[in-house]
Chains A and B, each alone.
Chain A
Amino acid sequence: SYDLTQPPSVSVSPGQTASITCSGDKLGDKYACWYRQKPGQSPVVVIYQDNLRPSGIPERFSGSNSGNTATLTISGTQAMDEADYYCQAWDSSTAVFGGGTKLTVL
């Protein structure tokens, strides 16, 4: 089965840049998505097809994917960005999620 690995936690100061990585075998050959989930809420996509932002997602969210690693970058992180973030890719018809990263804005 295909696995995606994320760091369990990332901390960032308000206004600084947060980077969350997602590693998987030849992940760069697939499209990566990123989802944000806040407590008590359902997940929301923040990046799709590696680096595209859905409408309504702030420009400070960006993504990249190359080799074995996809990265979600949040520039000028705000307190409201504190949440769990999950990368996701497709392995044929199976959706694979990373283990999730808790982003703390200190």
Chain B
Amino acid sequence: EVQLVESGGGLVQPGGSLRLSCAASGFTFSSYDMHWVRRATGKGLEWVSTIGTAGDTSYAGSVKGRFTISRENAKNSLYLQMNSLRAGDTAVYYCARVGSYRIFDYWGQGTLVTVSS
């Protein structure tokens, strides 16, 4: 059974940092592109970042230069290092797998990040 489990969310002050993790199981992690998607309260889904099987990365303009996505295939883990956090980054962050037909076919349960003083 495919499972994605996020961790690392919490309360952080503006300007602070946080590292999210996503533990994957039930599939060959190294063979899939992985993504982070967030949803702020009262707002819609927003794509944040992706890392391909070859380690190639891409970021949304709103987080570029502040967030860094990485993966550790030996540990079946995906990460999101978030620096210079702003109130606007407050959201539930989901890790998601892109499978066949470029579908987000599996999502984690999400981890809440709150940026507030």
Q: What residues make up the interface of A, taking CB atoms closer than 8 Å to B?
A: 1, 31, 33, 35, 37, 42-45, 48-49, 52, 54, 84, 86, 88, 90, 93-100
- The 25 sampled A-B contact pairs (Cβ below 8 Å) are A31-B102, A33-B104, A35-B45, A37-B45, A42-B94, A42-B108, A42-B110, A43-B45, A44-B107, A45-B105, A48-B103, A49-B101, A52-B101, A54-B103, A86-B45, A88-B104, A94-B47, A94-B60, A95-B47, A95-B50, A96-B47, A97-B37, A100-B43, A100-B44, A100-B45
| Cα–Cα, bound, A31→B108 (Å) | 24
CA distance A99 to B47 in the complex (A): 11
Task: Tally A-B pairs: CB < 8 A.
Answer: 57
Find the B residue at minimum CB distance from A47.
B103
The answer to whether the Cβ of B71 comes within 8 Å of any Cβ in the partner chain is no
